[in-house]
Amino acid sequence: MARKIGLYGILAYVVYGLFFYWYLFYFADSSLQFEYEGSKADPATFLNGRELMLTEEYSKIRNLLFFLSTPFEWLFYLFILLLGFGNAFKKWAENSSKFKFVRTAIYLFWLSLFAFIATTPLNYISYSLSKSYNISTQSFSSWMKDELIDFWINFGMMIIIVAVLYWLINKSRKRWWLYAWLLSVPFTLFMMFLQPVVIDPLYNDFYPLKNKELETKILNLADKAGIPAEHVFEVNMAEKTNALNAYVNGIGSNSRIVLWDTTLNRLSDDQILFIMAHEMAHYVEKHIYFGIAGYLLLSLVGLYLTAKLMEYVIGKWGNALRIPAVNDIRSLPLFLMILSMLLFISSPLSNFVSRYQESRADHYAIEMTQNTEAAIGTFQELTRAGLSQVNPPLLVKIFRYGHPTMLERISMLEDYEINNKAKTNE
């Protein structure tokens, strides 16, 4: 049975990979409809021939890597179970300590280490790809440092999460998923509070915006929007990437407005103000809190489904997967695999909601700044800097895009400009 499950898993992954290779390289069409040709959303009007070619090449390969990486994670956990690595990890943990928490940490360390080793090649391919297309400027040592920081942060958080999770499962086999969700609410809020001041600075240096004239303009914009912001931060991303970005993160007193230095270097003040107005819209319309509520709702449903699916899978294939019971630590790879699958399946819904919020933020930003030329120029420069497709294939948009496509964003701005001129002429 174990061999059969493993064979079917490999075949499913190969068929899935071939499908997306065919879809992205031979079937999907990213060309514009006739009515958009020659418009400001047409990449041929603001990218040169080489940039157009590189955008198509880079996007197709990057999208293929995305679609291959998540199911590869599922395959990894499946083979951890089928090949008995879970049993080996548990024995190593039991032979190392008599304390349950320490044994859990040791088991988790070996599982995390094997996952890190298994996924690093795909991560490195993605890094090399962005480097070869001049998106990434990061040295290998710096990239590896970030990977190791990721490993230890995730490992540290997982020790607490997994120890509490299996304590709850042992206490209540029927309702552990509900208690786990209840505890995840304050934990999620706490991590969002810590993110800007504890976790983010581990990767990059943050400091107050050096351009005080621009900071004054941004703070005036924030005051106009009713946002109690006192400082704007910039982060040194130029040593890692040529891409552009800006964001507002954190909650409460730890919330921050952050600009990448690449954005400061490549965009004009008017373009940066449009980006800032967009980010402020998320605060004004309380998108952060709606996002938290949506995440918590999805996590409740996800934990419930995970609990039911774990019981079903272990009841039917527990022997082949070498999992004696749900409350055994060896069921952790199955838990992680099911949760990852549910996250992937639910991503079209979460992306749809995100695209709606981002579209609202775009409308808010242009109403506030009234500068369509700067706004359109911003999106064109974002496209150039990230080699992003203006009109990505449908499945890419559904599974990857938390923002409207550049075609949708620039077209909205052109329509806004036309409508404004019509009102002025009336």
Q: Which residues are annotated as catalytic?
A: 279
User: How big is the chain by its Cα radius of gyration, in Å?
Assistant: 24
- Contact partners, residue 122, CB within 8 Å, separation at least 6: 65, 68, 69, 72
Q: Looking at the DSSP assignment, which residues form a beta bridge with residue 247?
A: 258
- Contact partners, residue 28, CB within 8 Å, separation at least 6: 393, 394, 395, 396
- The tokens 């490549």 sit on which residue? 266
Complete DSSP assignment for 237-306: -TTTBS---EEEE--GGG-EEEEEHHHHHHS-HHHHHHHHHHHHHHHHTTHHHHHHHHHHHHHHHHHHHH
What sign has the CA pseudo-torsion 28, 33, 34, 37? negative
Distance from C-alpha of 340 to C-alpha of 5, rounded to nearest angstrom: 19
| Alpha helix (H) residue ranges in 36-99 | 49-82, 85-96
- Can you give the length of the chain in residues? 426
Residue 13 burial (10 A CB sphere; 0-12, 13-18, 19+): middle
DSSP reduced 3-state for 354: helix
> Torsions phi, psi of 232, nearest 5?
-120, 135
Q: Are 352 and 346 in contact (CB under 8 A)?
A: no
Query: H-helix or E-strand containing 185?
Result: helix 176-194
